[in-house]
Amino acid sequence: MTNFPLTRRLMLAGVGATATLGGCATRSSDQAGQGPFATAPLNPIVQQRADAQVFRHTDGAYYLTGSVPEYDRLIIRRSPTLAGFTTAEEAVIWRRPTTGKMGGHIWAPELHMIDGRWHMYFAAGDTGQRFRIRTYVLRCEGPDALKDSWTLLGEVQTSWDSFNLDSTTFVHGGQRYLCWAQKDPQIDTNSNLYLAPLATPIALAAPPICLTVPTLPWEMSGRLKVAEAPALLARNGRLFLVYSANATNHLYCLGMLTADAGADIMKLESWTKSPEPVFVSSEETRVWGPGHNSFTLDEQGRDVMVYHGRDYKEITGESLYDPNRHTRVQRIYYRADGAPDFGIPVGNGEVPDRFSPMDQPGSFLRLEGGRVAVGAGAVPATQFRQKPGLAGPGTVSLEPILAPGQVLRRTASGDVVVGPREDGAVFATEASFLRISGLAGRNGVSFAAVGATNLHLQHVSGTLRAAPVGNRAAATFLVT
Ligand code: AHR
């Protein structure tokens, strides 16, 4: 094993993490020399864009829209990557009129491709009656949603002329449906969720069914009783209709309705409501009021959830007018029964990953006290963000999402401990690793210790250590 001086090794790391182990040269899994964290989106990915929806189009681009703090216009960003939304140019595709209908609040747009043409669903109040909120649809007259002109198709006609918002549309079983939030004048709630097939983008093909009325404690606080912002996730033979509940402050959260994909989704008995919320604020990762989500795939084809959340809990004034519901994104994982496990909001910083030892499928590196265990475990304890390494370019440091500001560090004895970042070259070296192609297979990754590349992170007797490699599979991790 050739021990290069640290600077030479880091240079190697920077150009593709070529490290040698017993003369067997391995190359980084990041062949472009981008480094492991260059492509990870940084949360929040977009400041002050609430109710964010991301649409991944067949042109390979991602499109993002959402509510702006002024509630006065419709915007779209386009990017080849999720991370790129942070700096992507933003096109204003429509502004509310200064008077009359649609001159009030403009809320929660969604971009959809219907019959080969871009359509934008959104809610609008009227001038002087900014909460007389109704749902409208714009259609783009050309293929470029950001540059071509948009025409108002009209107002979506529902069962009542009442407060309605947060429409989403999806195709299931060859039929396009609309799902939205609306006030039923006969029910003492702010909004309930409704579902109906569409005959045209703005006309229902049949009377809607009411999917849920806010009745559970986590759906109501004070005078507000809210079920809104539905988003559909179809996976593992089931439909998961995730919706937002409660006021738009730190109590805002996600609930979920589930149906078998083969059922008649227009029959209420096909749907089961989760008794508890599936995604709530987190004091540990410092994200409050997570909600109004959408679903898409990341560049590797993995399920991700887009949602908004603030990075503070206490709000001055009416939460609806606090501008800092930022757009966030994170991976979705699935339980053994195929249902999504959203975990908790992962917090600011690189989108985290989970690391599963190649010789122990189904187990993960897991934060356990001040150490890292290996085994099964709740999603949040197994999520680690790969941050730029303290030892400089081409190295990574691993930060548990449940211990923001802390990093994994190897000790002289080979133990791996988790603790607050410290100054100094020694700490930087011990808390930094070279991410290289998996020692037991290129579909995995391994981590060589900076300053001692004969040592690699590996699990030994259920605990993570930094040691010379015996079992390569124990030192190779599938990144999920
Ligand atoms: O963000 C504006 C509105 O507030 C959204 O339409 C709704 O989902 C939220 O309650």
In DSSP terms, 418 is beta-bridged to 408
Q: Which atom of ligand 1 is nearest to the CA of 166?
A: 6
- Write the pLDDT tens digit of every residue in 16-67: 333 333 333 333 333 333 334 447 999 999 999 999 999 999 999 999 999 9
Q: How much is the pLDDT for 261?
A: 97
Q: If you average pLDDT over residues 298-324, what whole number do you get?
A: 96
For residues 359-383, give the mean pLDDT.
95
Residue nearest to atom 3 of ligand 1 (CA): 107
pLDDT class of 453 with cuts at 50, 70, 90: confident
- The pLDDT-based confidence of 223 (bands split at 50, 70, 90) is confident
- Cα angle 152-154-155, degrees, rounded to a multiple of 5: 135
**Omega prior to 36 cis, within 30 of 0:** no
Residue 302 phi, psi dihedral angles, 5° rounding:
-100, 145
Q: Is 228 a catalytic residue?
A: yes
pLDDT (average), residues 224-238: 98
Cβ neighbourhood burial of 22 (10 Å; 0-12, 13-18, 19+): exposed
User: Is the model's pLDDT at 329 over the cut of 80?
Assistant: yes
The pLDDT value given to residue 23:
33
Percent of the chain with pLDDT over 90: 90
Atom of ligand 1 nearest to the CA of 252: 10
Amino acid at 29: S
165 lines ligand 1 (CB under 6 A): yes
Q: Other CB atoms closer than 10 Å to residue 81's CB: what's the count?
A: 14
In angstroms, the CA 341 to CA 313 distance is: 24
Q: How far is CA 252 from CA 182, 229, 300, 307, in A?
A: 18, 11, 30, 11
Tokens representing 37 are 């964290």
Mean pLDDT, residues 223-230: 96
pLDDT value, residue 415: 96
pLDDT (0 to 100) of residue 377: 84
pLDDT at 16: 33
| Summary mean pLDDT of the chain | 92
The reported pLDDT for the residue numbered 7 is 40
Alpha carbon 186 to chain centroid, angstroms: 36
Q: Which residues of 67-78 are buried (b: 16+ CB within 10 A; e: fewer)?
A: bbeebeebbbbb
Q: Is the pLDDT of residue 309 over 60?
A: yes
Residue with tokens 């122990």: 360
CA of 292 to the centre of ligand 1 (A): 8
Q: Where would I find the beta strands (DSSP E) of 68-116?
A: 73-79, 90-95, 106-114
| Helices (runs of H) and strands (runs of E) counted in the chain | 2, 40
* Residue 214 CA to its chain's centroid (Å): 25
Buried b (16+ CB within 10 A) or exposed e, 134-147: bbbbbbbeeeebbe
pLDDT at 35: 39
Helix (H) / strand (E) containing 468: strand 463-468
* Cβ of 445 less than 6 Å from ligand 1: no
Say if ligand 1 is within 6 A of residue 122 CB. no
Residue 15 has pLDDT above 50, yes or no: no
- Mean pLDDT value of segment 217-224: 92
Residue 8 pLDDT level (bands cut at 50, 70, 90): very low
pLDDT for 39 equals 73
Cβ(52) – ligand 1 distance below 6 Å: no
pLDDT digits (tens, 9 = 90+) for 160-212: 999 999 999 999 999 999 999 999 999 999 999 999 999 999 999 999 999 99
Q: What letter does residue 351 receive in the DSSP assignment?
A: P
What does the alpha-carbon distance between residue 85 and residue 405 come to, in Å, rounded to a whole number? 25
Q: Which of 293, 213, 214 is nearest to 247 (CA)?
A: 214
Q: What is the pLDDT of residue 317?
A: 92
Distance in angstroms between the alpha carbons of the first and the last residue of the chain: 30
pLDDT at 37: 41
Residue 12 has pLDDT above 60, yes or no: no
Residue carrying the six token digits 């021990």 = 3
Flag whether pLDDT at 13 surpasses 60: no
User: What is the whole-number distance in angstroms between the Cα of residue 463 and the centre of ligand 1?
Assistant: 45
Higher pLDDT, 329 or 18: 329
248 lines ligand 1 (CB under 6 A): yes
Q: Which of 30, 51, 126, 322 is catalytic?
A: 51
